[in-house]
């Protein structure tokens, strides 16, 4: 074989070996991505298509699937529970997103540029709740919110309150309780992301502002905030998705109670699919949730690109 | 005057942050010490009275009598060690292909894979559960091993590793290929050893996120002896409904390993989140 190749004119040999090598490279390339590709087609492409098919059927896994057209979607819009769940989700978005944004941004600004043992300790303790399991942490927070001798109410009693909230047992306070717990759990992560954003702001900007006599607020308003807008935008999207996906804390702390006031979209999907065995209905819910998230993200991207245009 | 102002500012800053840090870690400290309290002290005592009085391991004993907690821990330890290793192998192979090899359709495939990140897990939850049923994988470990290899997290790992591989000079593998190395050899003995920091980052994040994973294992695993700890904990909550002390003991067991991993690798964790934003749950 090699003899044959060697007998050919030199340039031909080169291009042939190059071709052979390129083919070999392509084959290796495909072999290396093959495991991921197979999994991608089964667990993502097929799943997404299959999920939309299931959403047009009625199916409890035991009896055969019945095609029912858009009945599930119609039913969802007439389902009072669904509107309550949607209201709860909106509540979580409006409660959680701004509070985490403000808390984590303030923490990051306060910690920015300070590197020593103590600030490192602060970072560690703020990040700690993020890496621990939400299931276990929620079980602990059941005690924090305990109306009689939980930490919060004990503190409230100590500073003189007598009419303390019943937290997880109360329809008005259960949602704020979950929000407080989530803010506590996730703000460390976003604080670190804001810190990353702050590090990219050139110090010369602040120096120039100081020369011009700008006060702290002005510096924050006209330098920090605009320079952080990328990070803020990204974190806002992540937080909205997170608010839609509140599940584990609800599963452990309230199971959607009291009176459905903490029922979230993901919990409702789980309940319909795996407790009531309404696979079609649950799939339709999942699609509605997906479309809502997609539209929300899309709108944010649009608003942002408009804002950027108007700046010029 | 300026000096004094600075000093006061510093004291205020540290005082505030020490209080805030205390709020962040107090639930953990409370959970650990209170898991050794008696039922009476748990239900009637002051939550700021941190020491158990009297000290008892009753909660742990009862929890372990109710459910095979140690078995849950063992399952979780094995799963959260081996699944990430498999994930890393699969992801870095694909990443190598995307970073270094030329073939038709590469970019389209890469974009397609990245689009998985846009699809939230709950859309594929039900169909994937049904796929598991059809394959008879329900209540078998394989259901916790194979699907995670192509979930959003691992697709992100591919992206992450690809970026890292691109930062390693290509001359290294060209030289090796001229010396007659196969592509697989280039991947396994040149790129992988050079990507150790990236691999370590993925490994520690994958360990904690596997350890904390709940929804998927809860849906596909039914028998106690195969459950990971978080799922077991949710069953413990039902079993210990009358006395939450056992649940507290179980929660401490479920929290401790990630805290140990976190504290031993805290520099990695914090640096990674600050540098890449990686570390979403």
Q: Where are chain A's structural domains? A: 2-54, 75-311
Partner residue facing A110 (CB), from B13, B126, B244:
B13
The rounded percent of chain B whose pLDDT value lies above 70 is: 96
pLDDT band at residue B280 under the 50/70/90 scheme: very low
Q: How far apart are CA A72 and CA A285, in angstroms?
A: 9
Q: How confident is the model at residue A308 (pLDDT cuts 50, 70, 90)?
A: low
Q: How many CB atoms lie within 10 A of CB B45?
A: 15
Interface membership of A257 toward B (CB under 8 Å) = no
Report the distance separating Cα A226 and Cα A223, nearest Å.
6
- Provide mean pLDDT across the span A145-150: 87
- pLDDT mean across residues, chain A: 88
pTM of the model: 0.88
ipTM at complex level: 0.88
Question: Above 90 in pLDDT, residue A82?
Answer: yes
What's the confidence (pLDDT) of residue A301?
Answer: 84
List pLDDT tens digits, range A1-40.
444 444 445 556 777 888 888 888 889 899 999 999 999 9
Q: What is the pLDDT of residue A194?
A: 92
Domain ranges of chain B: 58-276
Each residue's pLDDT tens digit, A183-229: 999 999 999 999 988 988 888 888 888 888 888 888 888 889 998 88
Write down the pLDDT at residue A18. Answer: 81
For the ranges A282-286, B49-53, B89-93, B208-212, which has the lowest average pLDDT?
B49-53
For the residues B14-26, what does the mean pLDDT come to? 93
Interchain contact, A127 vs B34, CB within 8 Å? no
Q: Count Cβ neighbours within 10 Å for each residue of A268-299 and write b for 16 or more, e otherwise.
A: bbbbbbbeeebbbbbbbbbbbbbeebeeeeee
Chain A residue closest to B17 (CA)?
A122
A282 to chain B, any CB pair closer than 8 A? The answer is: yes
Residues of chain B neighbouring A192 (CB-CB closer than 8 A): 270, 273-274
Q: Cα(B100)–Cα(B165) distance, rounded to whole angstroms?
A: 8
Q: What is the pLDDT of residue A1?
A: 41
- Chain B positions touching A28 (Cβ under 8 A) are 97, 101, 183-184
Q: Two tokens at B76?
A: 């979780």
CB spacing of A136 vs B102 below 8 angstroms: no
Q: Which CATH architecture has domain A75-311?
A: Orthogonal Bundle (1.10)
B76-102 mean pLDDT: 93
Q: What is the mean pLDDT of residues A98-120?
A: 90
Paired residues of A57 in beta bridges: A67
**What is the model's pLDDT at position A65?**
86
Q: How much is the pLDDT for A3?
A: 45
- For the segment B228-251, the average pLDDT, to the nearest whole number, is 88
- One-character DSSP codes across chain A: -HHHHHHS-HHHHHHHHHHHHHHHHHHHHHHHHHHHHHHHIIIIIIHHHHHHHHTTEE--SSSPPEE-TTHHHHHHHH-HHHHHHHHHHHHHHHHHHHHHHHHHHHHHHHHTT--SHHHHHHHHHHHHHHHS-HHHHHHHHHHHT-TTT-HHHHHHHHTT-SS---GGGSTTTHHHHHHHHHHHHHHHHHHHHHHHHHHTS-HHHHHHHHHTT--HHHHIIIIIHHHTHHHHHHHHHHHHHHHHT--HHHHHHTTT-STTTT--HHHHHHIIIIIS--HHHHHHHHHHHHHHHHHHHHHHHHHHHHHHHHH-
Beta-carbon contacts of residue B122 (< 8 Å; ≥ 6 apart): A245, A266, A269, A286, A289, A290
Residue A28 and residue B116 in contact, taking contact as beta carbons nearer than 8 Å: no
Query: How confident is the model over A155-170, as a mean pLDDT?
Result: 87
Q: What mean pLDDT comes out for the span B34-39?
A: 90
CA distances from B7 to A107, B18, B98, B186 (A): 20, 16, 54, 57
Mention every residue, 6+ apart, whose C-beta is less than 8 A from residue A175. Answer: A88, A91, A92, A95, A261, A262
Point out which residues pair with A67 in neighbouring strands. A57
Mean pLDDT computed over B59-71: 92
Q: What is the pLDDT of residue A2?
A: 44
Residues of A in contact with B147 (CB under 8 A): 39, 43
Stretch 103-122 of chain B: residues touching chain A, C-beta under 8 Å: 103-104, 106, 109, 112-113, 116, 118-120, 122
Q: Which of B5, B18, B25, B27 to substitute to test the interface with A, most A CBs within 10 Å?
A: B27
What is the CATH code of the structural domain delimited by B58-276?
1.10.3720.10
Q: pLDDT for B123-147, tens place per residue? A: 889 999 999 999 999 999 999 999 9
Q: Which two tokens stand for residue B124?
A: 């594929």
The minimum CA-CA distance between B130 and chain A, rounded to whole Å, is 9
- Put simply, whether A25 touches B (Cβ < 8 Å) is yes
Identify from A20, A136, A191 which residue to disrupt to test chain B contact, counting B C-beta atoms within 10 A and taking the largest count. A136
> Residue A310: which pLDDT band, with cuts at 50, 70 and 90?
low
- Of all residues in chain B, the one with the smallest CA distance to A35 is B90
For residue B86 the two structure tokens come to 């498999």
């Amino acid at each position: 074989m090699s003899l044959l190749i060697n007998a050919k004119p030199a340039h031909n040999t080169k291009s042939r070996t190059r071709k052979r090598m390129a083919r070999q490279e392509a084959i290796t390339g495909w072999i290396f991505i093959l495991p991921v590709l197979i999994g991608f087609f089964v667990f993502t492409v097929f799943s997404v298509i299959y999920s939309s098919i299931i959403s047009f059927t009625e199916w409890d896994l035991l009896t055969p699937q019945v095609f029912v057209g858009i009945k599930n979607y119609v039913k969802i819009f007439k389902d009072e529970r669904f509107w309550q769940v949607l209201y709860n989700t909106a509540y979580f978005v409006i409660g959680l997103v701004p509070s985490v944004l403000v808390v984590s941004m303030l923490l990051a600004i306060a910690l920015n540029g300070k590197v020593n043992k103590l600030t490192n300790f602060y970072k560690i303790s703020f990040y700690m709740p993020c890496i621990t399991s939400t299931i276990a942490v929620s079980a602990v927070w059941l005690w924090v919110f305990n109306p009689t001798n939980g930490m919060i109410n004990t503190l409230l009693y100590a500073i003189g309150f007598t009419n303390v909230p019943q937290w997880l047992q109360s329809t008005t306070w259960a949602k704020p309780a979950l929000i407080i717990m989530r803010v506590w759990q996730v703000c460390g992560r976003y604080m670190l992301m804001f810190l990353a954003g702050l590090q990219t702001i050139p110090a010369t900007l602040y120096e120039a502002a100081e020369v011009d006599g700008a006060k702290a607020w002005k510096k924050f308003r006209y330098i920090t905030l605009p320079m952080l807008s990328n990070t803020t935008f990204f974190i806002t999207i992540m937080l909205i998705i997170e608010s839609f996906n509140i599940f584990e804390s609800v599963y452990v702390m309230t199971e959607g109670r009291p009176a459905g006031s903490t029922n979230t979209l993901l919990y409702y999907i789980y309940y319909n699919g795996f407790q009531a065995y309404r696979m079609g209905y649950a799939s339709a819910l999942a699609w509605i949730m997906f479309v809502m998230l997609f539209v929300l993200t899309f709108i944010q991207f649009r608003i942002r690109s408009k804002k950027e245009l108007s700046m010029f | 005057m300026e000096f004094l102002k600075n000093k006061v500012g510093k004291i205020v800053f540290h005082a505030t942050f020490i209080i805030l840090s205390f709020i962040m870690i107090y639930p953990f400290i409370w959970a650990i010490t209170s898991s050794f309290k008696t039922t009476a002290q748990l239900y009637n005592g002051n939550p700021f009275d941190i020491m158990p009085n009297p000290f008892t391991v009753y909660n742990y004993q009862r929890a372990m009598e109710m459910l095979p907690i140690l078995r849950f821990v063992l399952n979780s330890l094995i799963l959260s060690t081996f699944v990430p290793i498999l994930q890393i192998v699969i992801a870095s192979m694909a990443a190598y292909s995307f970073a270094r090899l030329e073939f038709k359709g590469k970019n389209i495939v890469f974009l397609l894979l990245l689009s998985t990140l846009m699809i939230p897990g709950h859309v594929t939850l039900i169909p994937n559960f049904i796929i598991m049923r059809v394959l008879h994988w329900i209540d078998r470990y394989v259901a916790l091993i194979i699907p995670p290899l192509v979930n959003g997290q691992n697709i992100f790992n591919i992206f992450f590793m690809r970026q890292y591989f691109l930062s390693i000079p290509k001359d290294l593998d060209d030289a090796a290929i001229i010396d007659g190395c196969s592509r697989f050899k280039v991947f396994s003995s040149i790129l992988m050893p050079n990507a150790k920091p990236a691999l370590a980052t993925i490994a520690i994040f994958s360990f904690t996120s596997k350890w904390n994973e709940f929804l998927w294992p809860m849906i596909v695993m039914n028998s106690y002896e195969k459950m990971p700890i978080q799922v077991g904990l949710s069953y413990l909550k039902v079993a210990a409904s009358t006395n939450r002390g056992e649940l507290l003991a179980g929660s401490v067991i479920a929290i401790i390993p990630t805290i140990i991993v976190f504290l031993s690798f805290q520099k990695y964790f914090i640096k990674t989140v600050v540098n890449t934003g990686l570390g979403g749950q």
